[in-house]
Structure 1
Amino acid sequence: MRPVVCAGSAPRPVREGGPRTVEHPRGRDHVLTAVRTALAGAGDRHGTALAVRGEGGSGRSTLLRWAAGAAADAGGQVLRVAPRAEGATSAYSALRSLTVPPAAVSGALPGAVRAALPEALRGHARGGDETSVCSALWRTLAAAERRPVLLTVDDWQWLDPASARALAFVARRLDGTRVLLLAASDGPGPVLSADRGTAELSLPALGEEAAREVLADRHPGLAADAVAAVLAVAEGNPRALVDLPTALTPDQRAGRAALPDPLLPGAALERCLGRRFRALPDGTRALLAALALLEDDAEAGDVAWLAGALGHDLDALAPAEEAGLVTSERTPRFVRRVHRCLAHATAPAAVRRRAGRAWAELALTRLGGGPAGPAGARPDGPASPGEAPPDPGGAGPHHEDAARLEALGHAAVAGRRWSTAIRAFRMAGDLGPAPWERSRLHTAAASAALSDGRPRLALALTRGPDARPAGATAHAVRAVRAAALFDVAFHADDSLRDLRAALEAGPVAGTDARDLAAFQMSVLTSLTHDPAPARTALEALPADAGEALRIAVAARSDPVSRAREIREGLVGAAERALRTPGAGPWELTWLADAAWQVDDPVSSGRLLSAALQRSGSERGHLPHCRELRAELLTAAGRWEEVRDLVTRRSAEGGAGLPDRHAVALTSQLLLVCAYQGRREEAREPAREVRRWARDRRSAHHAGLAAYAALLLAQADDTGPADGADWPADADPCRDAVTRQAHAVLVRGALLRDDPEAARAHQARAQRAGLTRFSDGTTLLVRHGRALLAAYTDEPGTAELFALAEDAATASARPFDRALLALDHGGWLRRRRHPAAARTRLRAAYETFGRLGAAPWQEQARTELRAIGAPPPGTARTATASGRALSAHERRIVRLAASGLSNREIAERLLVSPRTVASHLYKVFPRLGISSRRELRDALIGGGDAL
């Protein structure tokens, strides 16, 4: 028998279809497990009811479809109850959609039972009571004998009261049946009979990983900026994740055009939530449209100001609050970020213009801006011959709004409110009727985006469909694109050419990009080891360039030779910047970078922290801050923090090729893997860094990859010859990696029996004056000199190692200190000074252990075993010879270590003094010691308590 639907009087057939592929809900493993368990229980006559609660778009319908597919695959029968419409109150209107099980399910089901529910519904329509309907529904479902039944109810909150009572009646009586009732709701009220023990499952927002998987499945190839924007707005809501990208143009999806601000909702969100906004009063919609333009750090007074400017008060938000769209706790906010998109998109054009005008007035008031002139201030001077002049007859509402927004953009640039500047310039450009005017204002927005650390947005704004630059704007576009491409698509030759042109272009729209171009030129010198770009930048800096920028560029151009001059300038500039509240985070970041270039990690860390504290809404320096912080953490041995930083950056970056900052973080992760000897984990970062260095002609990254390979070779002794191809002309004055790798280079050359190469490295470092450059390089150079002396067995080797140890006390790099202790301890062991060797080797063992550098720690352990000393923290269960001490021997050793004589020990243990002496005579060699004075250290190092 085919299934029929209870349509009131006569049943009508429903077409049966074959099995369908059902979407697997992402990030819902706990719910899927519970549903699978309940389905299995229903098959064993342990029927139950499950309530699923989740907000709109959380995937309730997807879950019900998946459950229906799982039940069908298991041979069960799927029945559905669907409310006819939101707010329907007709009795049993939802229950009339229920599909009655066929005879194949009910077996020899009497005809009276099969017809019970349709007859009860018809009887109720003629005035019958509810009891007969509830009883008939339960009898029909409970009669399933051959196959379990899954009954799904979507949108429980829309059920008519009579259908809800009938289903709750059934839910309380399912035990002992083959029925699973699965009901979903997004309403606040009770679902089923939760008070009777019905399990309730929640559908929270998806996590970061699951949300990215949803985007990758439904929208492959989405640009990194689009992915980040959708993730931020959707907040883990599956419907928003799937729907928001559908409103983007192909160019926006590919990253070739700027994203809408705010994002536009797609058709599904419009159907789901748009009607809530359209049903609001006009005043509420206008205030919500203005609220959508406010920054996240807006205060309650800002919202009140907007309401007054629009001719309302905060009571206008009451309807939106009742609809669950905003919350009024302290400062009115949208409940969900996607509500901001809908508030702006669903407002009529006239309402959006009013809201934009009110927002601009508020922002100008907060920034101290004055009234705009008829045409607004031009950021790039008068029009050039190739650019159309302002239209004097362009007066009107649109012209006045555009002028006001442009004035706001300039005020925001002056106040370093980059997000406000970007939005103001974009909105002004969108109101401009002429293509050249739109291009000019969008270029101003791109310049602000560059200062905000959003190079991809800057590129998109300069190459949008309306981008038609001419005259001075064309020069501005070239300058902005050069600075943006340096981060997004760096290539040594192209970047040098573009940045040099940017320095010659002069001030550009919105802000002056020459400062950033000059700093990037100095970074180019560090990446290519070519001093010319930094020198060009120093010569091209305008007379009014800031002190911090000059110091930063000088530190990149020649950090070793000019170290004293740079440090002296840093001291005064840093104190002035830290004392001056108006000093921006860019200046502090440049000073932090300069301190790092002259190997002063303490000052660099202090300035970097101050820059982050002063960031506020300015975040343009943050990509460089992340890069600089990763380098500081790597040097300080805080390697787990480096991993966390790289993981967070990878999550933010999304799809696409890594930019310059991303590969800089990957390089630090590669070094961490190399220091810790994690060869397998280092393979992929090493390939990425080498490929990037080759394709972009970055000598710096090529050196980092080579240094990592040398560390890995020495860590597990798999290839001590690695490093033989290190450039013979590597200049430690300009190459930071050669300075950092000096001791390892000398060590590697000696391990492969190439003392001439070791002497060449040492000679270059000493000629460069690295012993006078910093505490860190002093340690490395003295370490290399001591290794050479130990290799040739020079008489003054001990004094050279002592000098290196003196330098180690001031070094801030724990790995370098531990490596010196390992080499010094090994030399002392070979010179048969076990006590002195033990002290150094234990220090190396402990430091390598804290750093997680397991292969290096194993080398220290091997050296300790060679002198019969156990590593620190190791319980003494066996001696160096492999024979364990007996309990009696351990008691004698402890007493002797405490200072007791043989006779005193014998009296305590009731043995003869000769027996005590005999035991100690046998134990000393097994402990790797030669006198009673060393007993205490041996026991402490072995982990034994006295």
Structure 2
Amino acid sequence: MSDKLTGALSAMDPCAAVSLVGRSAELRVVHSLLATAIDRGSGLMLTGAAGVGKTALLDVAAQRAAEAGFRVLRVTGSQFDRTVSFAGLHQMLQPLSEEIAALPTHQAATLQAVLGLSEGQPVEFIAIASAVHAVLSQTATRARPLALIVDDAAWLDRPSAMVLGIVSRYVRTGSIALLAASRTGDESFLSGTGMATHEIRPLDDTAATALVAERFPALAPRVRRRLVAEARGNPLALLELPSTLDKPQQTERGTLPAVLPLSDRLKRIYCEGVSALPAGTRRLLLLAVLDGSGDLRTLRRAMATPEARPGLCPAERGGLVQVDVETGKLVFRHPLTRSAVMELSTSAERRWAHQVLAEEFPAGSDRRALHLADAAVGPDEHVAVLLHDLAYDTLRRGDAVGAINALLRASELSATGAGKGRRLAEAACLGANITGDLRNVRDLLDNATGADSRATRSLPAAVAAASQLLNGEGDVDTAQRLLVNAIDNDATLRQSDDTMLSEALHTLLRVCFFSGRPDVWRSVDTALSRLHPHAPDPQLPVMRAALGDPAHLALPVLPRLDELTSDLHRETDPTRIVRTSAAGAYVDRLPGSRSSLRRVVDDGRGGGAVTLAIEALFLLANDAYATGQWDDITALTDEGLGWCTTYNYRLQAWPGRFLQGLLAAARGDDETARTVANTLVSWGNPRGLGILRTYSAHVKALSALGDADFGMAYYHLTSVTEAGRLTSPHDLWLLWDFVEAAAHSGHHAEATAHLETIRALGVHQLSPRLAMIADGAAAIADQASVDRDLFERALATPDAECWPFDLARIHLAYGERLRRARASGAARPHLTAALATFERLRASPWTTRAANELRATGLQPRPTNATKARPSPLTPQEWHTAQLAATGLTNKQIAAQLFLSPRTVAAHLRNAYPKLNVTSRAGLRDALTGLAGEVEG
């Protein structure tokens, strides 16, 4: 039977089906204790701070012991029963009445007296301990071992503790597992017995975060991080603290208190030590909590005595605080002690402390304003003004949530209805445009109107309402009317401060972009011309040009855009990061914004500016598409779309869906591409969202081009653009598509007109990628000839490999032309290069086109496994140059075949030699053969 028990324990996974997060090591310790106890008894004392999870581990131990065939006895000490003699033994022995009756008469009588079942008096402790040990030994057999689980051992009554202390010394004489738990530092019956101890440590941050996420999945990420930091790995605190927050605070729609409140259970743990302190010490600790810096000099001045340190002695002796020997600052040993100090203070004491601390900071400082706000009892316009200014300083530092909280508190302290209404409207504006929770905007605007009926006619209110209309329902026409009227009514465009005026104009920019109608941009141009040269934000003219009409207006502002982009690594305001990045999207400046955009995404994941994080994700996905990092697109867009659903951003979702549709079209998933394209039109057309119609045409045209259906592609493209006109910013992304579709479908005049416009506007000067595409498009416009100079110039664009899909399409077009011109040998390298890139991108329609063209040259494409193959270290040009060199051809002969110069051929070979680990032509054949095998997988 014991072998069966041992086998059962051996087969049992110590951590399986257990809901204790982060306790795998402790569970293995318990499992080992039970396994050892079968053959020879063993004991273990678990120690740890209150709430660290000792009882939870004992519960699991009892469950596992029972499952393994142990008989389980449980004893729990309590403060209430601590004065009741033998209360602990009574809990343990109650289930053993039958076993007690089978003991020798004197031992049975002893235990019956202990249990109060007879009139006899208990004898000395050694006799009681002997009887207890006898009944436990009789009960515990190898066939059915005994698990004795004792919780809160330090709270057992003294007689029971003494008896169990004696018994614990002899557990090894039977099949008994003794597992007890007690707070660290508490004396218990096991103290001094030599029994092994195991300290239960707080959870690490990873486990703590997982526990909170599992039990409270609705918590906003930033709130979750705050709770994890405050709980310091204490599981009880992690599970109790969320219950002290209301729903808005849990989802970060409400303000989190500076010091978290405690639940009743946590109060019993953390308030006990604080409540025992002298009143003066508690006041000093309250100042320390509200100051937060730990600076003892501040505390000394605030208490108006140079001898402040002795007042901390009771708290230091109680283990609540300590002075860090390195920094000299006061440190609370556990963050929740701060909460206990706050819980035990009165509102009058807290206001006193804030007022005292406010005097420690100079006029105009943020800390002074915050302390004065917390010390205020009723309306105080002076403090409201200070908080209003603080809000925008906070916003410029990138903390939009903090800015809104400051505005809300400023509204509460406003002495007039007009001030209250204006500040609520500004909070609504920032909430709609930056933090991302549209659900609060209407409530804030209603409250603003209740405070001042004129608030709804203010510029901030108009921006908030327009943002809600735009981001929610996509109502661009109503949003535009609201914004234009509010801006026009804003006196001389200087009634509001620069921040609100800037928000209004940036929102109007977004309205114009999504409308997709060139005439709508006149409203922005009118406002900017009236402001010139004193625009409230230097980004506005840049965004108007580079985002609104890059083909016609971007060239003059590119130096300023490049300057703004190069400074993004130092920028702390996520609003400016996203707006600068968006301005650079159509002119290929996104690579310079990547790291900054990722910071914005991280901020959004942490509960910061969610609206901006959504835009940042989609801008990163745009960049991933252009630069061939296609496997990243789905993850980026899925995350952004998830936030759009959570925060009810309906319009904001469509750029993400467009990118998913574009990826589907490029990879031949025609059903998904068609569904996305049709949905874009069905949602966008009734709302006048021209950009969604353009997105839809782009997706449909790309699908058609992949299948070489050039007539259908031309049909889709001409539904949103016109030959020889670049009226939409998105037309820059359709240059190649339009010329290819027109040239292949017999619309030669239209292709030529488009190219003339491209040349006249200087599109090639906007970015190297656009220069490459412009040269490539010019090369394919005339179907009757092969313009090798234009093709070669396009392929020689610096860093052309950075845009693999565009580059591969140019290689494909060049190869097609060369093959049709009966230059099959020259076509093969280009077709092979295109095929390799399309396979890596899993662009299956283009893979098929390139493979078919390659076969038509008489060369069978090499079989590849794009998902498993190791990428070649050589570029396509290096590969084909090395292949020809391996056959014995000279540089001049290779140059003639590949339409390159001998110098270029020599450069390709110099690059290829070290990559192949060879030093001359002699080793090329073997190296290329081995590499081909590896690449083919």
What corresponds to 1:776 in structure 2? Answer: 769
What corresponds to 1:527 in structure 2? Answer: 514
What corresponds to 1:462 in structure 2? Answer: 444
Paired residues in the alignment total 839
What corresponds to 2:538 in structure 1? Answer: 547
Q: 1:584 to 1:822 in 2, by over 3 A?
A: same
Q: 1:810 to 1:157 in 2, by over 3 A?
A: farther
Q: Is the 8 A contact 1:479 1:513 kept in 2?
A: no
Q: Is the 8 A contact 2:547 2:729 kept in 1?
A: no
What corresponds to 2:386 in structure 1? Answer: 407
What corresponds to 1:491 in structure 2? Answer: 474
Structural mapping, 1:133-532, within 5 Å:
136=133, 139=136, 143=140, 149-155=146-152, 180-184=177-181, 187=184, 204-205=203-204, 206=207, 208-216=209-217, 238-249=235-246, 263-283=260-280, 285-286=282-283, 289=286, 304-305=297-298, 308-311=301-304, 313=308, 329=324, 330=327, 332=330, 343-358=341-356, 360-361=358-359, 365=363, 367=365, 398=377, 403-404=382-383, 406-411=385-390, 413-414=392-393, 416=396, 422=404, 424-427=406-409, 429-430=411-412, 453=435, 459=441, 462=444, 468-476=450-458, 478-479=461-462, 481-482=464-465, 485=468, 489=472, 491-493=474-476, 495-500=479-484, 503-504=487-488, 506=490, 512-531=499-518
RMSD: 6.3
What corresponds to 2:584 in structure 1? Answer: 595
Q: 1:755 to 1:860 in 2, by over 3 A?
A: closer
| SS of 1:795 mapped into structure 2 | coil
Whether 1:821 and 2:811 are equivalent positions in the alignment is: yes
2:794 is matched with which residue: 797, 800, 804?
804
Whether 1:98 and 2:92 are equivalent positions in the alignment is: yes
Q: 1:459 to 1:938 in 2, by over 3 A?
A: same
What corresponds to 1:739 in structure 2? Answer: 732
Q: 1:803 to 1:348 in 2, by over 3 A?
A: same
What corresponds to 2:898 in structure 1? Answer: none
How far, CA to CA, are the matches of 2:821 and 2:54 in structure 1?
74
Whether 1:564 and 2:555 are equivalent positions in the alignment is: yes
What corresponds to 1:80 in structure 2? Answer: 74
Post-superposition offset of 1:279: 4.2
Post-superposition offset of 1:135: 6.1
| SS of 1:817 mapped into structure 2 | helix
| SS of 1:942 mapped into structure 2 | helix
How far, CA to CA, are the matches of 1:799 and 1:251 in structure 2?
64
Which segment is superposed worse, 803-812 or 618-627? 618-627
How far, CA to CA, are the matches of 1:855 and 1:195 in structure 2?
75
Which segment is superposed worse, 164-173 or 136-145? 164-173
Structural mapping, 1:908-919, within 5 Å:
none
How far, CA to CA, are the matches of 1:936 and 1:693 in structure 2?
58
Q: What TM-score do the two structures reach when normalised by structure 1?
A: 0.68
Structural mapping, 1:713-752, within 5 Å:
725=716, 728-730=719-721, 733=726, 735-740=728-733, 742-743=735-736
How far, CA to CA, are the matches of 2:796 and 2:495 in structure 1?
53
| SS of 2:720 mapped into structure 1 | coil
Q: Is the 8 A contact 2:379 2:413 kept in 1?
A: no
Whether 1:128 and 2:125 are equivalent positions in the alignment is: yes
Which segment is superposed worse, 562-571 or 135-144? 135-144
| SS of 2:551 mapped into structure 1 | coil
How far, CA to CA, are the matches of 1:35 and 1:567 in structure 2?
65
AA of the residue aligned to 1:214: R
AA of the residue aligned to 1:243: E
AA of the residue aligned to 1:398: V
| SS of 1:81 mapped into structure 2 | strand
Higher helix share: 2
How far, CA to CA, are the matches of 1:704 and 1:483 in structure 2?
23
**Unaligned residue ranges in structure 1 (runs of 5+):** 1-21, 377-395, 878-892, 901-930
Post-superposition offset of 1:595: 3.2
Q: Is the 8 A contact 1:870 1:942 kept in 2?
A: no
| SS of 2:808 mapped into structure 1 | helix
- CA deviation string 1:121-163 (max 9, x = no partner): 9999765249926962882585257656554444456567987
- CA deviation string 1:313-361 (max 9, x = no partner): 4666666666666675545566666665555454310122123334545
2:745 is matched with which residue: 755, 760, 765?
755
Structural mapping, 1:854-933, within 5 Å:
867=859, 870=862
Q: 1:700 to 1:538 in 2, by over 3 A?
A: same
AA of the residue aligned to 1:565: P
Q: 1:328 to 1:456 in 2, by over 3 A?
A: farther
Q: 1:104 to 1:93 in 2, by over 3 A?
A: closer
How far, CA to CA, are the matches of 1:614 and 1:841 in structure 2?
44
Post-superposition offset of 1:515: 0.7
| SS of 2:216 mapped into structure 1 | helix
Which segment is superposed worse, 716-725 or 142-151? 716-725
Q: Is the 8 A contact 2:431 2:441 kept in 1?
A: no
Q: Is the 8 A contact 1:848 1:854 kept in 2?
A: yes
Which segment is superposed worse, 629-638 or 557-566? 629-638
Q: 1:421 to 1:606 in 2, by over 3 A?
A: closer
- CA deviation string 1:381-432 (max 9, x = no partner): xxxxxxxxxxxxxxx9735877336424424535746566555554455567
Post-superposition offset of 1:834: 6.3
Q: What TM-score do the two structures reach when normalised by structure 2?
A: 0.68
What corresponds to 2:5 in structure 1? Answer: none
Q: 1:199 to 1:774 in 2, by over 3 A?
A: same
Q: Is the 8 A contact 1:488 1:660 kept in 2?
A: yes
| SS of 1:512 mapped into structure 2 | helix
What corresponds to 2:878 in structure 1? Answer: none
Query: Identity of paired residues, percent?
Result: 24
Q: Is the 8 A contact 1:88 1:160 kept in 2?
A: yes
Q: 1:802 to 1:66 in 2, by over 3 A?
A: same
Post-superposition offset of 1:519: 1.0
How far, CA to CA, are the matches of 1:720 and 1:44 in structure 2?
82
Q: 1:896 to 1:427 in 2, by over 3 A?
A: closer
| SS of 1:398 mapped into structure 2 | coil
